[in-house]
Amino acid sequence: MYTLHGALASPYSMKMRALLRYRRITHIWAHGASARDAQSQVRAPVIPVLEYPDGSFANDSTPLIYDLERRHTGRSVIPDDPGQAFLAHLIEDFADEWLTKAMFGYRWLEDVDQIQMSHWLAFDAFKGGGLDTIESFASTFRERQVGRMALVGCTRENFALIEASTRRLLRALEDHVVNQHWFFGTRPSLAEFGIYGQFSQLGVDPTAQTMMRAEFPDTYRWLLHVDDASDIEGAWSAPVEPAPPVVEAFLSEVGRVYVPFLQANAAAAQAGKETFRFEVDGLPYEQGTFKYQLKCLADLRQRFAALPDETRERIVPLLNATGCREFLG
């Protein structure tokens, strides 16, 4: 049996837990001390960590998703059509690397969120131990996370762009989920689980939760459906069917903010610069250069290049229309 070592306040942990539930892959959910111990078993000590039935450990949610696809047939989260599969992967990558900035910003920019969430994270980690222990850990953890804001690009100067982007996506989801729950048919893909992971935290943290309940109530409720979709039986949409507006909206946001983000990061890395900056709609964004996003960009380009010619030609009009074609090489 698998054990998923994670945390309720970790978007990637919630993403993987929801995916395992949907796929009906038998597992144990473990958080608290076991998650801290599991991090010592992997190179990069970040959660979630998946412990395999043979006792081995691995992390990084996207590679884990594809590894589970190889190991378990049925209830796949990868659309059968390679074109839809690529689009789903692109949206999932965008959620992992860009939407996480909204999660981080809403959680650590304002005092009300810092206080509540640092306490809850400590409460989850210790599962007891007394209020003094919880508050002591919460204070230290809060200070550390707030100190990392500039590193991950979640500064007040950047947050105007991050929040504008997030609200556009929430509006697109709100319009979509009242008609249908999924993006590529009547079953979920890895795209929805990537989105769910990040927005699951917006549905908990005080400021973001208030915003979601007031302005995007059906999306707020949709998150609970994605959390356990083990009852869903569905089919992929036909490849020739037009992409629903929500897919176009997410891809348009990729083209609007994620493409310039990846390109600016890559240009800075090539020039040996420690930081990069760009603007979208007159809103500035600046952060430190990250090697991991170079891997994301290279992976997206490789996946696009590997598509069959017919498939690539079929999805290129959508990629062109949403500003996503040029950066793929």
Tens digits of residue pLDDT in 142-190: 999 999 998 889 999 999 999 999 999 999 999 999 999 999 999 999 9
- Same domain, yes or no, for 200 and 311? yes
**What Rg do the C-alpha atoms of the chain give, in angstroms?**
19
- Same domain, yes or no, for 49 and 178? no
- Same domain, yes or no, for 258 and 168? yes
* Chain-centroid distance, C-alpha 275: 23
- Same domain, yes or no, for 252 and 134? no
Residue 77 included in any domain: no
According to the model, what pLDDT value does residue 262 have? 98
Whether the per-residue pLDDT at 322 is higher than 90: the answer is yes
- Same domain, yes or no, for 256 and 308? yes
- Same domain, yes or no, for 135 and 175? no
Query: Residue 234: helix, strand or coil by DSSP?
Result: coil
Residue 93 included in any domain: yes
Cα distances (angstroms) measured from residue 267 to each of 41, 196, 274, 289, 296: 34, 30, 11, 9, 14
- Same domain, yes or no, for 319 and 172? yes
Cβ contact 34:48 at 8 Å:
no
- Same domain, yes or no, for 115 and 242? no
What span, in angstroms and rounded, lies between the C-alpha atoms of 180 and 218? 11
User: Could you tell me the pLDDT band of residue 242, with boundaries at 50, 70 and 90?
Assistant: very high
Chain mean pLDDT for the chain: 97
- Same domain, yes or no, for 271 and 285? yes
What is the phi/psi pair of residue 106, to 5°? -60, -35
C-alpha dihedral sign at 49, 51, 125, 40: negative
Over residues 107-133, mean pLDDT: 95
pTM: 0.97
- Same domain, yes or no, for 115 and 205? no
Cα distances (angstroms) measured from residue 10 to each of 130, 194, 200, 269: 23, 12, 9, 28
What span, in angstroms and rounded, lies between the C-alpha atoms of 149 and 151? 5
Residue 76 included in any domain: no
Residue 157 included in any domain: yes
CATH of the domain at 34: 3.40.30.10
The pair of structure tokens assigned to 195 is 């989105």
The pair of structure tokens assigned to 291 is 């090697």
Domain that holds residue 171: 82-106+153-328
Domain termination site, one of 127, 147, 167? 147
Residue 136 included in any domain: yes
Residue 178 included in any domain: yes
- Same domain, yes or no, for 194 and 265? yes
- Same domain, yes or no, for 39 and 170? no
Q: Cα–Cα–Cα angle for 160, 161, 162, nearest 5°?
A: 95
* Chain-centroid distance, C-alpha 181: 18
Over residues 203-226, mean pLDDT: 98
Over residues 100-128, mean pLDDT: 95
Q: What percent of the chain shows pLDDT beyond 90?
A: 94
Over residues 98-111, mean pLDDT: 97
User: How many separate domains does the chain show?
Assistant: 3
The pair of structure tokens assigned to 208 is 């973001």
